[in-house]
Chain A
Amino acid sequence: MIVFLAGQKLPGDPGRAILGPLAQESGVRQLDHKLGVDRPLLTQYDAWVTNLLHGDLGTSYEYNRPIAPMIRTALANSLKLALVAFLMCVPLSILAGVVAALSYGNWPDRTISVIGLSALGLPEFVSGVFLILIFGIWLNVLPLDATPPPGAGPGTQVYHLIMPAIPITLVLFGYIMRMARAGTIAVLDADYTRTAVLKGLPRRTVILRHVLPNALLPTITVVATQVGYMVGGLVLVEYLFHYQGIGALTYNAATNKDFPMLEAAVLVIGIIYLVCTLVADIAYTLLNPRLRLAAD
């Protein structure tokens, strides 16, 4: 609803946007009427919700085509990018976090923490531009364009997605690494870790069996929530690498006052976010015997 209102109330006129600044005032009015944007707000909202509940996302002003298939393609693209970024980022960050915690206060910890914090402060568009300059133009080892040529196999697709995935990895690295680090440090201090060490277990066993399962529980929640971010929040990255994902689609819709498209895109992103959070909670419950058994 907020999306809907914001789209409607912000200055700017869809008819004008479509027809261009030189169009006749009467033509703009006529188009507005045809699109239905001159109707009262409530009527429009009612129509939108009714159509939505029937599975109809509406028709794009901009392209004059049904929205659903466009969203579907874009979403598939975004999920591919998110998957690549996820696979690059999560194991790396967790590993780094655990390594940092195990060397708490020593140089590996400090190095990793500094890298993580700097990466966290580095916006995607800055790191993205540097990556393009270094790998795309200077070294010329990675393609500039994230969209693979039509009919490309999965290998080529992944190859094209590596560079866009790096800025996302950098941003999330700081987040996930710090969660993993904090969780591991807390559990290393726990009494049951002491029990395990004093049993005479080898250090490897203590860490793999006693520390990590407990330490990484909270991290799982964060990771799953971040997947939602990866799908929805990639406007800049997708724009920068000319990738037809849902972020780019949202961005275009917003600049072109393509309200039905904007509303649909934001709605889909919201749903993805929700699903990810739900998955995170379920995973947490399943992995934690206390919660799992409380439900019995």
Chain B
Amino acid sequence: MSSPQPRPDALVVDHLDIAYTVRGNLRSAVRDVSFRITPGQAYGLVGESGCGKSTIALALVNYLPRNGAVTGGSVEIDGTDVRSLRDESHRRRRARTVSMVYQDASRSLNPSMRIGRQVAEVFTVAGADRRQAAERAEQALARVRISDPAGVMRRYPHQLSGGMQQRVVIAMALAAEPALLILDEPTTGLDATVEAEVLDLVAALRQEISTALLFISHNLGVVARMCDRVGVLYAGELVEQGPAREVFTAPRHPYTVGLLRCIPRRDHLKGHGVLDTIPGFLPAPDADVTGCEFADRCALAEDRCRTDPPPMYPVGDGRGSRCHLHERAHELPRSTPPQARRAPEAVAATPLLQATGISKTFRSSGADVHALTNVDIEIRAGETLGLVGESGSGKTTLARVLLGIVEADAGAEVALDGQPLADKTHDRSREQIKAVQIVFQNPDSALNRRHTVRRLVGRALSKLSGLRGSTRDQRLLELTRSVRLADRYLDLRPGQLSGGLKQRVAIARAFAGAPRLVVCDEPTSALDVSVQAAVLNLLAELQGKEQVAYLFISHDLGVIRYLSDRICVLYLGRVLELGSAEAVFSAPHHPYTEALLSAVPTVDGSTNERIKLDGEIPSPANPPSGCVFHTRCPRKVGEICETDEPPLVEQEPGHAIRCHIPLAELRTMQKPERPAPAAIEPVA
């Protein structure tokens, strides 16, 4: 890194300290962070929520909230110290050397201005006249592979899909060809296929222009795919940095080691054993930690870790680790014993829940929107059925039909234990209501903020189990302990709990009536990976104990694979593939499943060749003729795909695919996945 460069480094962050003023007290958010990005390089910052990722990004563009301030260190972008820039002309100059793209693209665009005008602004501010600006805006949109730039220019942001919006934002950010582009969780909240497209686009644009990237994400897979170097943040400190591949394959800090172990790997299934987690919590922001910030959660910690803050030890290869014991980091013992779970019980032959002929048509401004078309599924007692599909595929509608929140079209039949279930929850018997429960994505909005945990769970117990008095109190304790909620949390309100704890409360509530089937609608997507691992472990444990079945909805295929016995792939309201998790995840599979799987970035760098899907998911108001997937299918065979809808055929026992291509032919087209090892990989 010492070799002289003709061009200054795109970004040099040197001993950066940032603090927020909270009720008159200075609260340190980022401490002593140093890193640099050379021109054209991509640097990833990873870490869980609250570790200071976004604070650093905002400090780089001088946009910290009012109560935040850089209290020490320096930031140089393209050779200029950012903190020295104050007045208007400097600010505008800075805006040309650095731009930023952040999470929710729908909120980054002005809702009351047409796209064209918003993009053109970047050029007018650089001195172009109106006509030139419009022309260059159109070119900028074309560069981010928007197929009809002129048409998009005339639209308002809300008329574009999430992926398109993010492209527009990227087009604006790159318009001035800045020296540094900051991407703060740019794909969080997007579907896997859209995410992959946006990432492809960014990777391709890097080849065209020499912009350096600072890529911030909690998703280690995404960072592994995009970045040359990576820095791991913990509690406001950079604890490890180095070349991405090496950091992810041979981490030298216990936190990185723990973080990597939390992620369900592609070959790690619930039958193989529990996921590892990181015990404990981030230190409170006002905590006075004398030694290493991570010592309290680190199983390797020695006395000196608690007294001497470790410096950033150079560990070769331009790598650094802020750990006294960096040489032994990989010896970090598991926090949860890796015991293999009991082999899955022989799943009952008779289905617990059987749904046949489920269709749902919504009427929206005169048009029929087919959310679900003739879906047949069955869930057996004690198994997990994973539901996979992009947004708009009908996953949530299906879950709601089963719960009786949404009424299916005539002809649908749902039966529980062979007994028909009424369309509306209202008309179901108490036993049936108890039997089917739900855990929502966002526990914040699912729990009444004014009630204590005791009251939230207690109410569910008296409503669902009809328990009263001391028996209820006793059951309440059993229940909260079984979801690993310490008794001291019982009298707190949801606002005082962390996201993971709130989700435990939601799970306890769903389990209050000893359910037979729990619908889990993206239960971990709002959680950090270490918390996600704990919640997934809990769900798997409860399943083993209570023989409960799950309908598990998630866009995270790693999570789905870890927990599911069988998987159902939905597209535009139709089942495209249904089968055992193993059969669905390994070739041959439906071309859509194949594309979905190839879109998932993995941490271990074993990148599949990505199968690109053309265009966007069509509108369910006007689904394509024939096979609904033919408009985007990379393996379309011909006219038959446009005219005839293929039937869902069980091509091998327990594995059904809706495709005109015969299974044998699919098998020869698709590479078989490497076989899953029988035992859990020993990371140590």
Instruction: Write the residues of chain A forming the contact surface with B, with a CB cutoff of 8 angstroms.
Output: 104-105, 190-192, 194-203, 205, 209-210, 213-214, 217, 287-290, 293
Bound: A214/B169 CA distance, A: 19
A185 to chain B, nearest CB (A): 11
Query: Are A195 and B169 touching (Cβ within 8 A)?
Result: yes
Q: Knowing A203-B88, A209-B113, A290-B158 are in contact, say whether A198-B107 is a contact too (CB < 8 A).
A: no
Query: Are B122 and A192 touching (Cβ within 8 A)?
Result: no
Instruction: Give which listed residue, A105, A194, A201, A290, contacts B63 with CB less than 8 A.
Output: A194
Instruction: Give which listed residue, B93, B95, B112, contacts A199 with CB less than 8 A.
Output: B95
Instruction: Give which listed residue, B91, B158, B169, contacts A200 with CB less than 8 A.
Output: B91
Over the window 109-121 of chain B, the binary record of Cβ atoms lying under 8 Å from chain A Cβ atoms (1 yes, 0 no) is 1111100000001
Over the window 89-100 of chain B, the binary record of Cβ atoms lying under 8 Å from chain A Cβ atoms (1 yes, 0 no) is 001111110111
Interface size range of chain B in the complex: 20 to 34
Query: Can you report 20 A-B residue pairs in the complex whose CB atoms are below 8 A from each other?
Result: A191-B107, A191-B108, A192-B110, A195-B110, A198-B63, A198-B95, A198-B100, A199-B121, A199-B172, A200-B95, A200-B96, A201-B121, A201-B125, A203-B88, A205-B125, A209-B113, A209-B121, A288-B112, A289-B111, A293-B159
Query: Are B156 and A192 touching (Cβ within 8 A)?
Result: no
- Among A104, A190, A200, A289, max chain B CB count under 10 A is at A200
B82 to chain A, nearest CB (A): 13
Query: Are B63 and A197 touching (Cβ within 8 A)?
Result: yes
Bound: A239/B526 CA distance, A: 61
B373 to chain A, nearest CB (A): 26
Closest-by-CB residue of A relative to B158 is: A290
Bound: A105/B21 CA distance, A: 14
Query: Are A210 and B159 touching (Cβ within 8 A)?
Result: no
A-B pairs with lowest CB-CB distance, top 5: A200-B95, A191-B107, A200-B92, A192-B110, A289-B156
Closest-by-CB residue of B relative to A190 is: B107
State whether the Cβ of B234 lies closer than 8 Å to any Cβ in chain A: no
Bound: A287/B112 CA distance, A: 8
Q: Assuming A192-B108, A200-B126, what are 12 further A-B pairs, CB within 8 angstroms?
A: A192-B109, A197-B95, A198-B63, A198-B99, A200-B125, A205-B125, A210-B110, A213-B112, A288-B112, A289-B111, A289-B156, A293-B156
State whether the Cβ of B559 lies closer than 8 Å to any Cβ in chain A: no
Closest-by-CB residue of A relative to B58 is: A194
Instruction: Give which listed residue, B104, B113, B176, contacts A191 with CB less than 8 A.
Output: B104
Closest-by-CB residue of A relative to B175 is: A199
Instruction: Give which listed residue, A104, A202, A214, A293, contacts B110 with CB less than 8 A.
Output: A214
State whether the Cβ of B102 lies closer than 8 Å to any Cβ in chain A: yes
Bound: A290/B110 CA distance, A: 12
Closest-by-CB residue of A relative to B96 is: A200
A181 to chain B, nearest CB (A): 16
Instruction: Give which listed residue, A191, A196, A198, contacts B61 with CB less than 8 A.
Output: A198
- Among A198, A202, A205, A213, max chain B CB count under 10 A is at A198
A191 to chain B, nearest CB (A): 4
B109 to chain A, nearest CB (A): 6
A202 CB contacts on chain B under 8 angstroms: 88, 92, 125
Closest-by-CB residue of A relative to B92 is: A200
State whether the Cβ of B66 lies closer than 8 Å to any Cβ in chain A: yes
Closest-by-CB residue of B relative to A191 is: B107
Bound: A190/B111 CA distance, A: 11
Query: Are B111 and A192 touching (Cβ within 8 A)?
Result: yes
B174 to chain A, nearest CB (A): 12
B608 to chain A, nearest CB (A): 33
A209 CB contacts on chain B under 8 angstroms: 113, 121
B63 CB contacts on chain A under 8 angstroms: 194, 197-198
B112 CB contacts on chain A under 8 angstroms: 213-214, 217, 287-289
Closest-by-CB residue of B relative to A295 is: B365
Bound: A214/B113 CA distance, A: 10
A203 CB contacts on chain B under 8 angstroms: 88
Closest-by-CB residue of B relative to A289 is: B156
A213 CB contacts on chain B under 8 angstroms: 112-113
A192 CB contacts on chain B under 8 angstroms: 107-111
B214 to chain A, nearest CB (A): 14
Query: Are A290 and B107 touching (Cβ within 8 A)?
Result: no
B108 CB contacts on chain A under 8 angstroms: 191-192, 194-195
Bound: A80/B63 CA distance, A: 48
B109 CB contacts on chain A under 8 angstroms: 192, 195
Q: Which of B148-186 contact A (CB under 8 A)?
A: 156, 158-159, 169, 172, 176
B94 to chain A, nearest CB (A): 8
Closest-by-CB residue of B relative to A189 is: B65
Bound: A204/B449 CA distance, A: 41
Closest-by-CB residue of A relative to B102 is: A191
Query: Are A290 and B172 touching (Cβ within 8 A)?
Result: no
A97 to chain B, nearest CB (A): 19
Bound: A210/B108 CA distance, A: 11
Instruction: Give which listed residue, B94, B100, B111, B126, contacts A214 with CB less than 8 A.
Output: B111
B321 to chain A, nearest CB (A): 34
Bound: A244/B92 CA distance, A: 58
Closest-by-CB residue of B relative to A287 is: B112
A104 CB contacts on chain B under 8 angstroms: 66
Bound: A289/B169 CA distance, A: 19
Bound: A200/B125 CA distance, A: 7
Query: Are B125 and A290 touching (Cβ within 8 A)?
Result: no
Bound: A190/B106 CA distance, A: 11
Bound: A194/B172 CA distance, A: 13
A197 CB contacts on chain B under 8 angstroms: 63, 95
B93 CB contacts on chain A under 8 angstroms: 200
B141 to chain A, nearest CB (A): 15
Bound: A281/B96 CA distance, A: 41
Bound: A196/B63 CA distance, A: 12
A205 to chain B, nearest CB (A): 8
Query: Are B61 and A290 touching (Cβ within 8 A)?
Result: no
A203 to chain B, nearest CB (A): 7
B122 CB contacts on chain A under 8 angstroms: 199-200
A69 to chain B, nearest CB (A): 45
Bound: A199/B100 CA distance, A: 9
Closest-by-CB residue of B relative to A202 is: B88
A106 to chain B, nearest CB (A): 10
A214 CB contacts on chain B under 8 angstroms: 110-112
A198 CB contacts on chain B under 8 angstroms: 61, 63, 95, 98-100
Bound: A142/B444 CA distance, A: 59
Closest-by-CB residue of B relative to A288 is: B112
Closest-by-CB residue of B relative to A209 is: B113
A190 CB contacts on chain B under 8 angstroms: 107
Bound: A287/B92 CA distance, A: 30
Bound: A33/B434 CA distance, A: 70
Instruction: Give which listed residue, B91, B96, B126, B156, contacts A290 with CB less than 8 A.
Output: B156
Closest-by-CB residue of B relative to A194 is: B63
B98 CB contacts on chain A under 8 angstroms: 198
Query: Are A210 and B113 touching (Cβ within 8 A)?
Result: yes
A201 to chain B, nearest CB (A): 5
B169 CB contacts on chain A under 8 angstroms: 195
